[in-house]
Amino acid sequence: MFVVRFLARRLFQGVIIVFLVSALIFTLLRVVPGDPVRLMAGGMAPEALIEQIATDMGLRDPIYVQFARYMSGVAQGDLGQSFVRPASGAALGGASFDDTTRSERAEVLTLIAETAPMTIQLALLAMIFALIIAIPIGIWAGLNPGRWPDRIALYLSSIFVSLPNFWLGIVLVLLLSVKLQLVPAIGYDGFAYTILPAFVLAIEIAPFIIRALSVSVASVMSQNFIAIAAVRGLTQTQIVFRHALKNSAVPLLNLLGVQFSMLLGGVLVIEFIFDYPGLGLLTINAVLQRDFPLIQGIAIVTAAAFVLINIFVDLIATVIDPRLDY
């Protein structure tokens, strides 16, 4: 019963948030200068044709009419069609305005569904790498607050957050792919192509995990039940893994929810650098091509994903720590 009420409330809030995000991005795209129809039809298209296409597509209606039409589509699971991408193949732009094959435009939902798994694969591998890097450092620092392991963790995380992802990506491609030829890097042709981008993303995430871990491990270790655990005859390792880590899980999960948007920002740039065919590359291309429906669709899907991840995180947190109440 508690779970049902919780889910109902949070989902309702989530719907409002997604609606606000859609309204914001929709308005934003309509008020900025630049006519997407001009880009769609090609530079040589006559003015009259552009007006006709724009009217046919409803782009000359008032913004609220367009928004209402769009949202009724979204409610039925229809995110519209891309302005520039054809349904078949990846050919972009360049075609003339009377080219008939251009009339078949790709569904936004299909484009997102095709690229999302690639991004999820990248994000999951990055998360695994980040945990491998951060857990030992974080625990070590948390067990020795104020001493040199703690200092090292501080310096390391300060350096990690100072590495711009695009620069690190370029340097690693130069060193590991070009010079040493250890891992493939640009494009996608098998799982190996995920390793380097995921590593760069992991370096971006790791400092936050290190910090959350060291803080919570340090605060748990100073509590009474830890001292009692030692009296009970538990070894240091057992104490760390049974008590300290379990208590750090909740802050870590919350961090995951909060840092989701940062993760997405990183994905965007890293996919662009590595020409990795995921949602991030799709987004950047959509922006550069002024593909309004695609930008809107991506914004709505990511906002929804954010809402769902946060609900999920809170739900898991209550399972781990029954004292929590949302």
- We find the least distance from the C-beta atom of residue 310 to another protein, in angstroms, to be 8
What phi and psi values does residue 107 have, to the nearest 5 degrees?
-75, 135
Cα of first residue to Cα of last residue in the chain, in angstroms, is 13
Name beta bridge partners: 103: none
Q: In the block, which residue shows the tokens 């251009």?
A: 102
Nearest to 240 by CA among 227, 254, 221: 221
* Beta carbons of 207 and 242 less than 8 angstroms apart: no
DSSP string, 153-187: HHHHHHHHHTS-HHHHHHHHIIIIIIIS--S--SS
Kindly identify the residues of this chain, within the stretch 23-52, that bind another protein according to CB under 8 A. 24-25, 28-29, 32-34
Contact flag: residue 77 with another protein (CB under 8 A): no
- We find the least distance from the C-beta atom of residue 40 to another protein, in angstroms, to be 15
Site track 112-131 with another protein (rule: CB under 8 A), x = hit: --------------------
Kindly identify the residues of this chain, within the stretch 268-297, that bind another protein according to CB under 8 A. 268-269, 272, 283-284, 287-288, 290, 295
Contact flag: residue 166 with another protein (CB under 8 A): yes
Q: In the block, which residue shows the tokens 């880009």?
A: 39
- We find the least distance from the C-beta atom of residue 18 to another protein, in angstroms, to be 8
Nearest to 302 by CA among 259, 272, 264: 264
* Beta carbons of 308 and 14 less than 8 angstroms apart: yes
Site track 223-262 with another protein (rule: CB under 8 A), x = hit: --------------------------------------xx
122: which 2 tokens? 């990248």
Site track 136-155 with another protein (rule: CB under 8 A), x = hit: ---------------x--xx
Helix (H, G, I), strand (E, B) or coil at 261: helix
- We find the least distance from the C-beta atom of residue 60 to another protein, in angstroms, to be 18
Write out the residues near another protein by the rule CB under 8 A.
13, 16-18, 20-21, 24-25, 28-29, 32-34, 151, 154-155, 157-159, 161-167, 170-171, 173-174, 178, 261-262, 264-265, 268-269, 272, 283-284, 287-288, 290, 295, 298-299, 302-303, 306-307
